[in-house]
Amino acid sequence: MAPSIPQLKTRTRTRAERPRLYKVILLNDDFTPRDFVVTVLKAIFRMTEGEALGVMMTAHQRGACVVAVFTREIAEEKCLRANDEGRRAGHPLAFTTEREE
Ligand code: TYC
């Protein structure tokens, strides 16, 4: 019987692709009370009072502000929860998500 030749094992490492990131964006409106926006930012996005105030004021003055960046699932879930908070309180508060370049 012919001697068997030991096979060289080659390992191919498949690195997971970097997940795409999604921005959660806060949109200004004329009706939602400022302190309500701050409360939602603190509750859903775990911001400090100061951070939430800064984001709320930027949206208020410029029309919109990026709140944070997440993977798609997290961004969509937080956006949904934040929009729900506004709806349940009867405010037109709106968050949206946008894919990063
Ligand atoms: N513009 C609102 C007001 O004057 C406050 C506000 C700020 C609402 C930011 C939404 O994303 C927002 N009461």
**Each residue of 81-97: pLDDT tens digit?**
999 999 999 999 999 99
What local confidence, expressed as pLDDT, does residue 55 receive? 98
Domains, the chain, ordered by start: 21-99 (3.30.1390.10)
By residue count, the chain amounts to: 101
Higher pLDDT, 101 or 53: 53
Ligand 1 nearest atom to the CA of residue 26, by list position: 11
Q: Give the tokens for residue 68.
A: 């944070």
Sign (positive or negative) of CA dihedral 58, 60, 63, 67: positive
- What residues line ligand 1, using a CB cutoff of 6 Å? 26-30, 32-34, 37, 56, 59-60, 93
Long-range pairs for 43-52: beta carbons < 8 A, 24 or more residues apart = 43/85, 44/78, 44/81, 44/82, 44/85, 45/78, 45/82
Contact predicate 92/32, CB 8 Å = yes
- Predicted ipTM beyond 0.95: yes
Average pLDDT, the chain: 93
